[in-house]
Amino acid sequence: MKKLFSSVSLLAVGLLSLCLTSCCDNKPAEPIKKDVAFQMYSVRELIGDPGKYAENHESTLKALADMGYTAIEAANYGDGKLYGVEPEQFKADIEAAGMEVLSSHVGHNLNDEELQSGEFPEALKWWEQCIDCHKRAGMKYIVNPGVNYPRTLAEADVICNYLNKIGEMANAAGMKFGYHNHSHEFGRVEDKVWYDYMVEHTDADKVFFEMDVYWAVRGQVSPVNYFKKYPGRFTLLHIKDDRELGQSGMVGFDAIFNNFDVAGTKYPVVELEGCNAPTILEGMKASIDYLLNADFVKPSYNN
User: Residue 5: pLDDT above 80?
Assistant: no
Asked which of 8-12, 39-43, 95-99 is least confident by mean pLDDT, the reply is 8-12
pLDDT of residue 30: 76
Could you give the number of structural domains in the chain? 1
- Residue 268 in domain: yes
pLDDT of residue 28: 60
The CATH number of the domain where 232 resides is what?
Answer: 3.20.20.150
Q: What is the mean pLDDT of the chain?
A: 92
- Among 234, 284, 241, 285, smallest CA distance to 259 is for 234
Q: What is the mean pLDDT of residues 32-45?
A: 97
User: Residue 8: pLDDT above 60?
Assistant: no
Indicate the pLDDT class of residue 27, thresholds 50, 70 and 90: low
**How far is it, in rounded angstroms, from Cα 163 to Cα 142?**
12
**How far is it, in rounded angstroms, from Cα 191 to Cα 176?**
30
pLDDT single digits (tens) 105-164: 999 999 999 999 999 999 999 999 999 999 999 999 999 999 989 999 999 999 999 999
- Residue 298 in domain: no
- Residue 94 in domain: yes
Query: Taking the CB of residue 21, how many other CB atoms lie within 10 A of it?
Result: 10
- Residue 69 in domain: yes
- Residue 10 in domain: no
Secondary structure element (H or E) that encloses residue 128, with its range: helix 121-136
User: Residue 65: pLDDT above 90?
Assistant: yes
pLDDT of residue 178: 98
pLDDT single digits (tens) 269-285: 999 988 999 999 999 99
Q: What is the mean pLDDT of residues 240-267?
A: 96
pLDDT single digits (tens) 161-190: 999 999 999 999 999 999 999 999 999 999
- Residue 3 in domain: no
Burial of 294 (0-12, 13-18, 19+ CB in 10 A): middle
Structural domain boundaries enclosing 225:
33-292
Indicate the pLDDT class of residue 7, thresholds 50, 70 and 90: very low
**How far is it, in rounded angstroms, from Cα 245 to Cα 295?**
15
- Residue 9 in domain: no
**How far is it, in rounded angstroms, from Cα 58 to Cα 35?**
21
Do 180 and 142 meet the contact criterion of CB atoms below 8 Å apart? no
- Residue 28 in domain: no
- Helix then strand then coil, % of the chain, to nearest 5: 50, 15, 35
